[in-house]
Structure 1
Amino acid sequence: MSSRLTFGTLKRIVAILIAIAIVLAAGIVVGQAPAIFGVEEDPEASITFEDKQGNGTTVTIQEVSLSDGGYIVLTDGGDEPLAVSEHLEAGTHENVTIEREDDATRELVGQLTATVHRDTGDDSFAYYETDGEEDQPYLEDGFPVSDTATVTTTDENALGDSFAVESIDAPATATTNETIQVNATIRNPTEFQTQQSITVRIDGTVFEQRVLELEGGESRTVTFETDTSGAPPGNRTIGVYTDGDGAVTEIDLEFHTDPSVTVDDATTENVTVATAIPEQGFVAIEHNGSVVSTSGQLEPGEHENVTVDLSENASINESDELMATLYAGSPDDVDSASPIEFEDEPVQTTFTIGDVADTESGNESDANDSAAESANE
């Protein structure tokens, strides 16, 4: 009897070991699924581009990583690139030097943006030649992977006729709806009286622009009253820029109110909301855990009368429970967007079209009663 029990126990142990082996093998197969079945993972990249002094002809990128290889493209907000790096193999690269073309007229100074592009062709950069069909930028949360820096120079030849920004002074902290004073000392390096456009930018976006006139060789400290409304909260770069020069400092911007989204009106055709959104994003209408429609792109700040059109294919009834949720990212790439959180909770509100309609009807009735009472008085 003891022998039969021992044999049965051995059989169970063997069966368990076989089961464990099968599970482990399955786990290995699942973990290697992309490689085994030819499924490609999303390409990834990162870049670090810091403020520095340059000579106007070259720029150095501190570090860039590219999962699929590609290029770094330098721009200054214009329609054409200022310079493109040589082809970079997949992996991490440090101190990448980018040279401007010999026939280029624009010096590599001022505020520059370095964007990481994939190589989808034949080791030659063709993004602009193909109207964006080839060598598209790497994306993170729906936005191109890039970094912005200010390249200054002490070389008067590199500056050319551009005014020089010798210093900048701005508050270390502010909210996203106040007017701050930004002081900058600006010098005309030429011998002639000249007028030039001066801009104040926060993270690359123009928040103020002014035409300044200086005598030849004159330096002047100028104060800009800059409204921060629309700037994204967080630790940001604020700078003063001329045609070919600039100076920057950091500012910590706090969103001026709590993030929120409220439903003002709703029908089976569209939903109207008011929102305070702390970063670039959109409002999504969700049903049964899925996004059925989105608003257009919203800039950071407070927005009234944001309309979200509901698709006819959504088949939403007045009694269906819906949710209006704030997302960071692009409405054109919902899968890469992420819900905006406040106090560790998503910023969202639950509603039904019927409840909103009843509330609106009640408000109109109350307003009519108040008007009638006022008339009787």
Structure 2
Amino acid sequence: MSSRQTFGTVKRLGAILIAVVIVAAAGIVVGQAPEIFGVEEEPEASITFEDQQGNGSSVTIREVSLSDGGYVVVTDGGDEPLAVSERLEAGTHENVTIDRVDDVSRELIGQLTATVHQDTSDGEDYAYESSDGEEDQPYLDDGFPVSDTATVTTSGETALGNSFLVESIDAPAAATTNETIEVNARIRNPTEFQTQQPVEVRIDGAVIERQVLELDGGEARNVTFQTDTNGAPPGNRTIGVYTENDGAVAWIDLEFHTDPSVAITDASNESVTVSAAIPERGFVALERNGTVLATSDELDPGEHENVTVDVPADASVAETDELTATLYAGSPGAVDAASPIVFGGEPVRTTFTIAEASGDESGDGGSGSGNGSNGG
């Protein structure tokens, strides 16, 4: 073989080796593309929270998976968490026991919701509420917090001590969210002594009615509660009667008593005042061109008058700017995790200008119907 042929063969082999190295390197770069170019994958989570019997002081999460680690937070519809897990490392965890927060007096009984939260704060403890929703926000799936709901009942008379027992409950199967209903229960004192104890009616874990009942030793009595559903969230909800360590639960279908709506009653460059009928816990957001400028305080389900949204001083809102007031479900401290309330297939919002709203003494000018139309 001539030297020319040998040299040509070497060149071809060298070219092939270089091509192989380039392809391999390209594969590594593609595989590491999110990290190399600063693109982070969205954190993911899942949770399974099953109906269970408990002792009122702890609950068990059947399974939770977290891509980046974090916490499981248990609530009953109130503003504060009832139980928070220890920090969980990334991965899948089974049969996670979560104890009630030390300074919480409410039992972990009734319909409870377990939500998976990220760990984004610099501190070692869960910080979502203490940071007004800025840190340790929930994991999201299609824009909604990753959560699961379960009904927790007490585990039997042997664990109840001297607690009154709830032997039965009778509640309406359906009602609206602004009426007074009768809830009947049979309560028994299992001890030999005359005793006074509080008895509560809860809807989705939130206390709606409470009275102190006195029973002789061994006495059983039928008790009727006149329960006002105003402020309860609509939907298929648990309704229960609870004593210190016992309870009985039924289901009630609550229908929101009116159409969700938001209407402008007054407006200026400093603030906007609205009336709102909101079917679940949420807030009113003031928006311009799809961007949230400000929010109201958090609102309980129901009808609200004189809800104020303060306009930020640096927003530079002109009297002729087109603004929108929208109802959101969620916390005003975590706007990104909140979602618009929909009625009739459309978000509940109303569009207006400050000039129109302030110039109409009836409060209706420029506000539209406020019953779910987009105002646009």
Gaps of 5+ in 1: 1-24, 364-377
The residue aligned with 1:262 is 263
Moved more, 194-203 or 215-224: 215-224
Per-residue CA shift, 1:256-300, capped at 9, x if unaligned? 111100001111111110010111111111112211111111111
**What is the aligned-residue identity percentage?**
63
Q: What letter corresponds to residue 167 of structure 1 in structure 2?
A: S
Match of 1:154 among 153, 156, 159: 156
The answer to whether the Cα contact below 8 Å between 1:283 and 1:295 also exists between their aligned partners in 2 is yes
Matched residue SS, 1:161: coil
Q: How far 1:190 moved relative to its partner?
A: 1.4
Deviation at 1:176, TM superposition (A): 0.9
* Cα pair distance change 1:245/1:345, threshold 3 Å: same
Alignment partner, residue 21 of structure 2: none
Check conservation: 1:47, 1:116, Cα contact below 8 A: yes
Equivalent residue runs for 1:111-260 within 5 Å: 111=110, 114=114, 116=116, 126-127=125-126, 136=136, 138-140=138-140, 145=147, 147=149, 149-156=151-158, 158-260=159-261
Question: CA offsets, 1:273-332, max 9 Å, x none?
Answer: 001011111111111221111111111110000011101111111111111111111111
Q: 1:68 maps to what in 2?
A: 68
Give 1:42 deviation, angstroms.
Answer: 4.8
- The secondary structure found in structure 1 opposite 2:333 is coil
CA drift at 1:161: 1.6
Q: Which runs of 4+ in 1 moved over 6 A?
A: 55-58, 73-83, 106-109, 141-144
1:5-41 CA-partner distances (Å, limit 9, x unpaired): xxxxxxxxxxxxxxxxxxxx9xx96x98644444444
CA distance in 1, matches of 2:218, 2:160: 14
**Matched AA of 1:282:** F
Q: Who is 1:349 aligned against? A: 350
Asked whether the equivalents of residues 200 and 239 of structure 1 are also in contact (C-alpha less than 8 Å), the reply is yes
Query: Shift of residue 109 of structure 1?
Result: 6.9
Contact 1:100/1:108 (<8 A) preserved? no
How many angstroms apart in 2 are the aligned matches of 1:247 and 1:177? 23
Deviation at 1:98, TM superposition (A): 2.7
Which residue is equivalent to 1:373? Answer: none
Q: Which runs of 5+ in 2 are unaligned?
A: 1-25, 365-376
Q: Which residue of 2 aligns with 1:21?
A: none
Residues of 1 paired with 2:66 and 2:339: CA distance? 23
Q: Residues 178 and 58 (structure 1 numbering): CA distance in 2 closer, same or farther, change over 3 Å?
A: closer
In structure 2, what residue type is equivalent to 1:344?
G
Measure, in 1, the Cα distance between the counterparts of 2:157 and 2:183.
25
1:348-375 Cα deviation digits (max 9, x unpaired): 1111111112212899xxxxxxxxxxxx
Q: Which AA in structure 2 matches 1:154?
A: G
Separation in 1, partners of 2:107, 2:354: 55
Secondary structure of 1:230 counterpart: coil
Assess, with a 3 A threshold, how the Cα gap between structure 1 residues 282 and 362 changes in structure 2: closer, same or farther.
Answer: closer
Cα contact 1:109–1:153 (8 A) shared by 2:
no
- Higher mean alpha-carbon deviation, 61-70 vs 232-241, is at 61-70
Q: Does the 8 Å CA contact 1:152/1:246 hold for their aligned counterparts?
A: yes
Paired with 1:120 and 1:269, the residues of 2 have a C-alpha distance of 34
Query: Contact conserved, 1:142 with 1:330, CA < 8 A, in 2?
Result: no
Alignment of 1:252-291 (within 5 A): 252-291=253-292
Q: Root-mean-square deviation (CA), in Å?
A: 4.0
SS where residue 324 of structure 1 aligns?
A: strand
Structure 1 length as normaliser, TM-score? 0.73
Q: 1:340 to 1:108 in 2, by over 3 A?
A: closer
Q: As a proportion of its length, which structure holds more helix?
A: 1
CA 1:354/1:127 → structure 2, altered by over 3 Å: closer, same or farther?
A: closer
Counterpart position of 1:14: none
User: Partner residue of 1:314?
Assistant: 315
**Superposition deviation, residue 222 in structure 1:** 1.3
Shift of residue 211 of structure 1? 0.6
Query: Secondary structure at the residue paired with 2:360?
Result: helix
Closer, same or farther: CA 319–263 of 1 in aligned 2, 3 Å = same
Give 1:99 deviation, angstroms. Answer: 8.1
The one-letter amino acid paired with 2:151 is A
Contact persistence 2:183–2:227 (CA under 8 A): yes
1:168-220: CA deviation from partner (whole Å, max 9, x where unpaired): 22122111111111122222121111111111111111111111111112222
Displacement of 1:346 after TM fit?
A: 1.0
| 1:93-119 residue CA offsets vs partner (Å, 9 max, x unmatched) | 45x163879xxxx99874476554556
